[in-house]
Structure 1
Amino acid sequence: MRGVSPVLEVPFTDDGEIDVEGFRRVVRYVLGTGVGSVMFPGFASEFHKLSEGERATLTGVLLAETGPSDVSAIVAVQDHATRLAVRRAADVVRAGADVINLLPPHFLAPSRRAIVAHVRAVLAAVDPVPVVVQYAPTETGTSLDGETLAGIAREHPNLALVKVESSPPGALIAELAAGDPPLPAVEGYAGVQLPDAFRRGAVGTQPGCSFTEIYVEIWRRLAEGDPAGEELHRRLLPYISYWMLDTELIIAAEKLISVRRGLFGSAHCREPAHRLDPEEIRMVDRFLAEFADHLPYLG
């Protein structure tokens, strides 16, 4: 998960069915951008709107495409019940997942003790396969800290990374890096705080996937110490900071970007969803015009 590790979106047809071939094109596009890993399904994939059968079909497409490649497949586990999370994690590892992304349980405010027990159970079930713990307090209300995560890592060395989506993420990223053991972190949240996270020790970023090329370029330049990386991020920031005001908003915006780029045919989002208004659609088109040099047509 070093560098850029996009979360894959799920295209639907206009009548709301999953577009399997469109998803295959998404996977192949992202694999061709120079990333080292991809993740599915996440919030950007509308995982909470997929049936078990749809999720299995799309995961199969992902693993079939990543299997022959050098790109790692990170498969997410979001089940609230520990028993189900353990079962899903073991199943996707057997199917070929390289890494597990674990979103801790959050419905009905479980205690910290229960959350830690859940995380430990999944780590033990897939050891030695590496696991990323996703910390997304805005979306889940879950509260974790660096010492708690370090304590888990001391007993479970396959806790390989933490995806930090607190706002801002920098303090926790630095705390994790200074812990015992040190824990590397990646930042998410569309990369809104990417330069600060990088300066504080983040080893990667995990945004959406419709304009992966821009994130790859920003990361490359930051890693080389090139000030142009921060300048490119400053140009991107007005767009992503607006879109990330609401998760459903950025899902809708990224889907329209992918349609405009020719990846798939419909920007449909399953209800309940954000419907882009005319000004938000114009914003997408301004974005594509401004970054045209980075975002070729893919149709």
Structure 2
Amino acid sequence: MNTILNGILPVLPTPYDSDDKVDSQAMKGVVEFCIKSGANGLVFPGVASEYDHLSQAERIALLSIIAETNRGRLPIICGGGKGTANEIIKNIQAAIPFGICAVMILVPNQFANNVEQARLFMAEICSAVPQVDIVLQNAPQPVGAGLSPEAVASIVRKIPNIKYIKEEALPSGARISELLKHAPEHLQGVIGGGGARYLIDEMKRGAIAAMPAAEITDLHAKIWQLYCDGNESSARDLYMRTLPMLLIQAIYRMRLTKFVLTARGVLSNDIVRAPLPMFDDADKLEINHLLSLLSPYIENCDDK
């Protein structure tokens, strides 16, 4: 596949209706919001999509809706999911008909102390789908293996269709620098994680993209563009203004994403399936206050 990933690639949340069923119409609205906000690609399903709380049928139905709504405007990066190598291969094969440009595969935490087994796991998957570009996701324990940059580079070096690395283990900036130092020729680039909380540092170190949650995609896209245009001062100013919201997002995860998207008129509710902390009234007041502080920099999303 020839698409080169870059810029802001939001991980789409999964909307639910009041009966806890997947809300297909709301998912269309999320896709349109991200496209109109200046996203450079769409990621689904990921951890921020509540992947573990979706059935296979729901994941495929949502991927179909995303592809239909997107109409080829942006590249779609599919999450490979969890499980055995064979289960992930089946997930990828089911996603290919929807025009995905790449698949993100998490190195599981059971390989934290066994780089060779991690390589064999990745190699088995990648060899089964040689036509698909792979994003190796290196997440910290307990979610992922949290491999060292040298270990990740050694895996990528031996598997030519791993074209990207999403580095989420901390400190992400130093790890990105090390990965790029040891990168093989076929690697297209390193993608930042951590919800864009380290976005400027990651960009300065050479990250070609970032995969945050979707609640402030427009602001992340503006930060990215300002920095790329050489206006680092303005990029930093806007970045600093987003950090209080992102710190809350680090705790409440998808609940914060959906609360903000509801406040912005993109979603009609903030229902989650994942077992996350609940907001109390003080939390809601604080989030709404932070949104009011960001209001000069964001558009009213009712028409997105």
Residue equivalent to 1:15? 19
Report the count of equivalent residues. Answer: 295
How far 1:84 sits from its partner (Å)?
A: 0.8
Partner SS, residue 162 of structure 1: strand
SS at match of 2:104: strand
Aligned residue in 1 for 2:234? 228
2:67 aligned with 1:60, yes or no?
no
Shift of 1:125: 1.8
Amino acid at match of 2:243: L
Q: How far apart are 1:97 and its partner, in Å?
A: 1.3
Aligned to 1:211: 216
SS at match of 1:161: strand
Structure 1 residue 239 corresponds to structure 2 residue 245: yes
Question: Are 1:34 and 2:38 an aligned pair?
Answer: yes
Residue 168 of structure 1 corresponds to 171
Any runs of at least 4 consecutive aligned residues in structure 1 with deviations exceeding 4 A, and if so which? 107-110
Map of 1:199 onto structure 2: 204
Contact 2:109 2:146 survives alignment (8 Å)? no
Alignment gaps of 5+ in structure 1: none
- The 2-side partners of 1:136 and 1:108 are apart by 12
Q: Is the 8 A contact 2:79 2:104 kept in 1?
A: yes
Say which of 75, 83, 88 aligns to 2:86: 83
Pairing 1:139-178 to 2, within 5 Å after superposition:
139-178=142-181
User: For residue 83 of structure 2, what is the amino acid of its counterpart?
Assistant: H
2:100 corresponds, among 82, 97, 108, to 97
Which runs of structure 2 are paired with 1:259-298 in the superposition (5 Å)? 259-298=262-301
- Provide the rounded CA distance (Å) in 1 between the counterparts of 2:115 and 2:213: 29
Q: Structure 1 pair 30/225, CA: closer, same or farther in 2 (3 Å)? A: same
Q: TM-score, normalised by structure 1?
A: 0.92
Contact 1:78 1:104 in 2 (8 A): no
C-alpha deviations, 1:107-150, integer Å up to 9, x for none? 69684332221111222222232111111114514132233333
- Give the counterpart letter for 2:37 in structure 1: T
Q: Could you tell me how far 1:196 is from its partner in structure 2? A: 0.9
Hey, what's the Cα distance between the residues in 2 that align with 1:119 and 1:297?
43
Contact 2:168-2:192 within 8 A present in 1 as well: yes
The residue type equivalent to 1:208 in the other structure is A
TM norm structure 2: 0.91
2:97 and 2:117 map into 1 onto residues whose CA distance is 26
C-alpha change, 1:141 and 1:84, in structure 2 (3 Å) is closer
Aligned partner of 1:69 in structure 2 is 72
Alpha-carbon distance, 1:167 to partner? 2.1
Is the Cα–Cα contact under 8 Å of residues 168 and 193 in structure 1 kept in the other structure?
Answer: no
Q: Write the distance in 2 (CA, Å) between the matches of 1:55 and 1:294.
A: 33
The answer (yes or no) to whether the contact 1:89–1:122 under 8 Å persists in 2 is no
Contact 1:81–1:105, Cα closer than 8 Å, also in 2: no
Equivalent pair of 1:80/1:107 in contact (CA under 8 Å): no
Tell whether the 8 Å contact from 1:78 to 1:105 is kept in structure 2 after alignment.
no
Separation in 2 of the partners of 1:175 and 1:110? 19
User: Is contact 1:38-1:73 (8 Å) kept?
Assistant: yes
Tell me by how many angstroms 1:271 deviates: 4.6
